[in-house]
Structure 1
Amino acid sequence: MDEQDWTILKVLYEKKNITKTAESLYLSQPSLTKKIQQIEKEYQVVIVKRGTKGVHFTPQGEYLVQCADEMLYRLQQIKDTVSNMDDEVSGTLRLGVSNYITRHKLPHLLKLFREQFPKVNYKVTTGWSRDVFNLVYNGDVHISMVRGDYQWSDSKILLFEENLCVTSLEKIELCDLPSLPRIEYETDALLKTMIDNWWSGEFSKPPFIGMEVDKADTCKEMVLNGLGYGILPSVLVQEHQSLNRIILKDRKGNPIIRRTWMLYHEKSLEIKAVKEFIEFVKKLDFQSTI
């Protein structure tokens, strides 16, 4: 079995569906089916069975999926080690990055880094901060950039801090919020918990949700057009001086702070590209320069 075979097993186990797996791996369904049959022939066992609700793995298939994680991790270690033998900084830097950082910070950051280290390639996985945290925790990426305070016992660097703000086009009072239309948006669980905890500490009834949108950027645009208020991280609205902002504070009167971190395993510093990237980020004023 080669790297592609192990990857097929891992993705198929996650998707539980031939069509979705083929699409994810940019394979045709016949090619994917043939690959699975070849694996079964090699081990002389049935590894998956098709049902009305997708594919089901046999005990032998379940075991091979466990091996797939180990094999893919080992193959990546080998690639990193070989790339690290060169005097030049090269190889593939694997990053897990939250959605906001991906949209607003990462492109310029990688542009600046590439100017110094042109032989480094990148594999970037994006998502909600919880998912990105799990990537670095499980060793699937070298570095993760996450928004919020996660329990992490290894190395980390604080990238920036921000306030949470009630943001509106017209001036409003906090005491009026329960009767005003709020623009709700999808976000990671930690931020939602921070907002919900603040609200329950201030008001005895739930907010009036006037609109639900997909992400914070969309919420900001709706606020700019006077369609309601939003509770947004200050970094999103700092360039819009026309907006009114009220900083959320806790019971003691302290601003509620949201932190953004870069997380990595200390052992990853043995890889030149990882070490140079971390040193590069340390020298930046991440919030103003990027």
Structure 2
Amino acid sequence: MDEKDWTAIRVLYEEKNISRAAERLYISQPALSYRLKNLETEFGTKIFFKIKGGIEFTPEGTHLAEYADEMIKKLQHTKDYMMNMQGEVKGTLRLGVSSNFAQYKLPKILKEFSTEYPQVQFSVNTGWSTEVMDLLNSSTVQLGIFRGDYEWYGKRTLLHTENLCLISAQEISIENSADLPFINYKTDNSLKALIMGWWQDQFSEPPRVVMETDRLETCKEMVKNDLGIAVVPQICLQPSDNLHVYELSYKNGNPVSRHTWLMYDQDLLKLPTVRSFVEFLEARPSV
């Protein structure tokens, strides 16, 4: 087995579908099937069997997938530390970043950092903060940027604090929000809890939800067209949105705020690329 075999097994184990795995690997389905057949011949065992809609791994295949995942991590760590021995700020920086931060903040940050350190490449995984936490815990990424408060055994740096805002196409009174149509959007549980915590602090009745959208940006467009109100993080708002924006507070006067954290393992600061990026973020007045 080599690195390509390890990657093929890991992706197939994640997808449980040969055609989707081939797409992720950017190879043809016959080429992937041929590689898998050779692996089964090499180990003298079946790795998987077909079921309706996909495949299922045998116990031997599951063991092989776990071995492949371990070897990929070891190889990446070896590459990282070989680069560290040279003492140069170059190589690949592996980042896990929450979706909203990735959309609204990350591009400018990466552009500025790459201007200062042109020999650094980026491998970026985006998703909800819970998904980014899984990537960080599995060492798939070196640095995680999370929105919301999560437990973490390693180092953490507060990057940003923002308010939650109620948005509307028309001028409204927050006190009357419970009577207005409300638009929801899919997001991580920490933001959902923050929104509902504020609502329950203000009103005895649940919001009158008239729409459920898959993305925050879709929700914003619905609000722009005066189809309802919504509660969104400040990070997603631009002057060009032409919305009425109301920063939220609890009844006790405290703002409804959300934190963005940078989290990482202290030992990774031995890597020049990681250390330089952490120092770059910490030196910024606010991201």
TM-score category of the 2 structures, normalised to the smaller one: over 0.9
Secondary structure at 1:286 match in 2: coil
Task: State how far apart, in whole Å, the 2-side matches of 1:108 and 1:235 are.
Answer: 14
Corresponding position of 2:253: 253
The percentage of aligned residue pairs carrying the same residue is: 43
Letter of the structure 2 residue corresponding to residue 117 of structure 1: Y
Task: State how far apart, in whole Å, the 1-side matches of 2:82 and 2:268 are.
Answer: 14
Secondary structure at 2:86 match in 1: coil
Task: State how far apart, in whole Å, the 2-side matches of 1:117 and 1:100 are.
Answer: 25
1:284 aligns with 2:279: no
**Residues 211 and 241 (structure 1), Cα distance of their counterparts in 2 relative to 1, 3 Å cut:** closer
Q: CA deviation at 1:242?
A: 4.7
Corresponding position of 1:139: 139
Letter of the structure 2 residue corresponding to residue 108 of structure 1: K
Task: State how far apart, in whole Å, the 1-side matches of 2:57 and 2:234 are.
Answer: 47
**Residues 72 and 241 (structure 1), Cα distance of their counterparts in 2 relative to 1, 3 Å cut:** closer
Corresponding position of 1:158: 158
**Residues 218 and 37 (structure 1), Cα distance of their counterparts in 2 relative to 1, 3 Å cut:** same
Letter of the structure 2 residue corresponding to residue 136 of structure 1: L
Q: CA deviation at 1:178?
A: 2.4
Contact 1:182 1:208 in 2 (8 A): yes
1:60-79 to 2 correspondences below 5 Å: 60-79=60-79
Q: CA deviation at 1:139?
A: 0.8
Contact 2:183 2:210 in 1 (8 A): yes
Task: State how far apart, in whole Å, the 1-side matches of 2:202 and 2:68 are.
Answer: 50
Task: State how far apart, in whole Å, the 1-side matches of 2:256 and 2:104 are.
Answer: 22
Contact 2:164 2:258 in 1 (8 A): yes
Corresponding position of 1:23: 23
Contact 2:224 2:241 in 1 (8 A): no
Task: State how far apart, in whole Å, the 1-side matches of 2:205 and 2:171 are.
Answer: 22
Secondary structure at 1:212 match in 2: strand
Q: How many residues align?
A: 287
1:221 aligns with 2:221: yes
Letter of the structure 2 residue corresponding to residue 275 of structure 1: R
Task: State how far apart, in whole Å, the 2-side matches of 1:103 and 1:171 are.
Answer: 28
Corresponding position of 1:9: 9
Contact 1:84 1:90 in 2 (8 A): no
Say which is worse superposed, 205-214 or 262-271, in terms of deviation: 205-214
1:1-290 to 2 correspondences below 5 Å: 1-237=1-237, 239=239, 242-287=242-287
Contact 1:47 1:57 in 2 (8 A): yes
1:160-207: per-residue Cα shift (whole Å, max 9, x none)? 101111111222223322221112111111101111222233323321
Letter of the structure 1 residue corresponding to residue 126 of structure 2: T
Contact 2:87 2:272 in 1 (8 A): no
In structure 1, the gaps of 5 or more residues are none
Q: CA deviation at 1:140?
A: 0.6
1:81-115: per-residue Cα shift (whole Å, max 9, x none)? 22222242111100111111221111111111111
In structure 2, the gaps of 5 or more residues are none
Q: CA deviation at 1:224?
A: 2.9
Task: State how far apart, in whole Å, the 2-side matches of 1:241 and 1:81 are.
Answer: 46
Task: State how far apart, in whole Å, the 2-side matches of 1:56 and 1:203 are.
Answer: 49
Task: State how far apart, in whole Å, the 2-side matches of 1:221 and 1:238 are.
Answer: 13
Secondary structure at 1:249 match in 2: coil
TM-score normalised by L of structure 2? 0.94
Task: State how far apart, in whole Å, the 1-side matches of 2:130 and 2:175 are.
Answer: 32
Letter of the structure 2 residue corresponding to residue 211 of structure 1: M
1:208-251: per-residue Cα shift (whole Å, max 9, x none)? 22333232223223323322211011232263585333333234
Say which is worse superposed, 211-220 or 95-104, in terms of deviation: 211-220
Secondary structure at 1:85 match in 2: helix
Letter of the structure 1 residue corresponding to residue 184 of structure 2: E
Say which is worse superposed, 117-126 or 227-236, in terms of deviation: 227-236
Secondary structure at 2:254 match in 1: coil
1:20-53: per-residue Cα shift (whole Å, max 9, x none)? 1111111111111111111111111111111224
